[in-house]
Structure 1
């Protein structure tokens, strides 16, 4: 077996196409857009190259056939107790010997660069895409979410990887009954004439970006690993979402016109992208517009839910949930609601998910492997 660094056009194509052979019989697999993966490895588009390095490899057997692939990277901003590198975009045939060869190669590659551990499968980028190994809930993946065969879990754990943290997705049916206490909260808060609700509208994107930034920075940025957002950053994000924003499913709550809570949701793009076979050229873009127009999207994704500290535990969550729910039940075709993953190190956010009367729909895991096998393994600290 040998490792070959991906440098040529043909090798990049093989890196993208190899998973198709792994998932050929899996009806739930949705091929990610090639462009989304390629942008991770584009130094002009991925800002993490400014403070890190990333290489990707194919692994070939004695017949020169691809049997595995992986990306190996170092992100200097990924600060851990010990210098820790990352591996991602791992795919492999169902063979432990092959997986061990790939993991050994990655370990040696990172050790030569001063790393003492490796996490995977993670992304050379933010945690919102391509992060974690799917270990439970093998249903169609959400857009930007990793999807793996069940046997990958054994490949990782048999090698010696341990779970650094679990990533839980929570979901519910849109038309399931809403908790009685939420209805009581809504009835009580509705009597307060200073409180109002508004749904996000594209024509007022600047205003809602400003309001989102204010609520987010008060609700989340001061906790744990949160970071302050600027209004410019938020507006850039909102503008990137503009083509797929549904004006009926994201809600903001105000006290005397001052934003105090927000609930951001978008349609699951994979419900449209699964018809494109990973491509997004001119013809696929036209097809996407047709699919988007004539194919009803039945799943919405929860991005962010936040309440400013002074209004937490006062019933605003119940008020906002019922304000939004009663509206989008009437105005949209959505049947399923699923939240982006929450780390099990974040009990506060998990509690919010539970308060939404959700259940765990899928579980991913971020694994860690310590190169010094005598060192005590520690899980992610609780926030």
Structure 2
């Protein structure tokens, strides 16, 4: 088997195109945007290169046909019990020997750099993109979510990988009944004249970005692996999202104009970009605007839900959810709601999802492989 570093235009093209060839008969596969993947490997765009190292490779058989690919990386900010490297963007034919060769290659690469374990498939970046192996719910993926055929699970587990944590996506139909306790919460909180709910408005984008930052930092930054967001970071993020923000589906709650809760949702971009075969040049951007205007998007995606500590367990969640739901049922065409994944180590967020009367729509897994096979394997600790 030939191992080829991905450094030339030809090898980059092969790296990007291989999944499309592999899943050509899979109706649920949606090719990610090439530029989203390439940004991961761009030293100028990916801040993780400042504290890490990343290389990617394709693997070819004796007939010079590509049969697998992978990216391997170390990130000094990825703190674990033992030095742990990562790999992602793994794709492979349905052949255990081929998969074992690729996994062995990744293991050696990481051992040479002092690692004692490897996690995968994960991203050389944040957890909100390209993280985890799909093991249940083989439907169309959400934007920037990994997708793979069912046989990948066997390739991983036959090699010896174990699940470090599960990643759960929860969903529901927009017009399904809302739980009675949420309606009761809404009725009770509505009596408080100091509490108001407002949808995000593009004309006041920076203000809502500031409000988001305040709620997020109080609700999540001190929780587990959370981290503080700056207003500059959030404003930049909101401006990036501006072209796809739907003003009807993201909601904020205020006490005397002070932000105390937020529920951020966006349309699922994959419902539009699935027509572009991974490309997003000038032509595709024009087509995107046309499709966005003419083709109704039926799926919305939950990004973040947060309530400041002093208002938690007081009914604000029910108030906000019913205020928002009443509105976007009437003002939008969305039919399905799905949350970005929640780790099974986060019972607080799982409880929120379950309280919405959602059901698990798909499950991904973050796998870990300890190089010392005599060492005790431990799963991710609950928050």
Deviations 1:8-44 (A, max 9, x none): 1000000000111111110000000000001100101
- Once residues 114 and 163 of structure 2 are traced to their aligned partners in structure 1, the CA distance between those partners, rounded to angstroms, is 22
Which residue of structure 2 lines up, in the alignment, with residue 41 of structure 1? Answer: 41
- Once residues 255 and 294 of structure 1 are traced to their aligned partners in structure 2, the CA distance between those partners, rounded to angstroms, is 38
1:198 match: secondary structure: strand
2:119 match: secondary structure: strand
Deviation at 1:2, TM superposition (A): 1.9
Which residue of structure 2 lines up, in the alignment, with residue 372 of structure 1? Answer: 372
Deviations 1:76-134 (A, max 9, x none): 11111111110100000000000000000110111011110000000000000000000
1:375 match: secondary structure: coil
2:239 match: secondary structure: helix
Which residue of structure 1 lines up, in the alignment, with residue 95 of structure 2? Answer: 95
Which residue of structure 1 lines up, in the alignment, with residue 141 of structure 2? Answer: 141
- Once residues 104 and 205 of structure 1 are traced to their aligned partners in structure 2, the CA distance between those partners, rounded to angstroms, is 48
2:352 match: secondary structure: helix
Count how many residue pairs are aligned between Structure 1 and Structure 2: 383
Deviation at 1:309, TM superposition (A): 0.8
Which residue of structure 1 lines up, in the alignment, with residue 273 of structure 2? Answer: 273
- Once residues 215 and 58 of structure 1 are traced to their aligned partners in structure 2, the CA distance between those partners, rounded to angstroms, is 43
Instruction: Report the TM-score, using the length of structure 2 for normalisation.
Output: 0.99
CA root-mean-square deviation: 0.5
- Once residues 213 and 60 of structure 2 are traced to their aligned partners in structure 1, the CA distance between those partners, rounded to angstroms, is 48
Which residue of structure 2 lines up, in the alignment, with residue 231 of structure 1? Answer: 231
Q: For 1:1-383, list aligned pairs within 5 A.
A: 1-383=1-383
Deviation at 1:355, TM superposition (A): 1.0
Flag structure 1 segments of 5+ consecutive residues without an equivalent: none
Deviation at 1:344, TM superposition (A): 0.3
- Once residues 112 and 230 of structure 2 are traced to their aligned partners in structure 1, the CA distance between those partners, rounded to angstroms, is 38
- Once residues 363 and 189 of structure 2 are traced to their aligned partners in structure 1, the CA distance between those partners, rounded to angstroms, is 35
1:59 match: secondary structure: strand
1:227 match: secondary structure: coil
Deviation at 1:357, TM superposition (A): 1.0
Runs of 4 or more consecutive aligned structure 1 residues displaced over 6 Å after TM superposition = none
- Once residues 105 and 268 of structure 1 are traced to their aligned partners in structure 2, the CA distance between those partners, rounded to angstroms, is 36
1:169 match: secondary structure: strand
- Once residues 284 and 209 of structure 2 are traced to their aligned partners in structure 1, the CA distance between those partners, rounded to angstroms, is 30
- Once residues 294 and 6 of structure 2 are traced to their aligned partners in structure 1, the CA distance between those partners, rounded to angstroms, is 39
Deviation at 1:191, TM superposition (A): 0.7
- Once residues 210 and 46 of structure 1 are traced to their aligned partners in structure 2, the CA distance between those partners, rounded to angstroms, is 25
Deviation at 1:206, TM superposition (A): 1.1
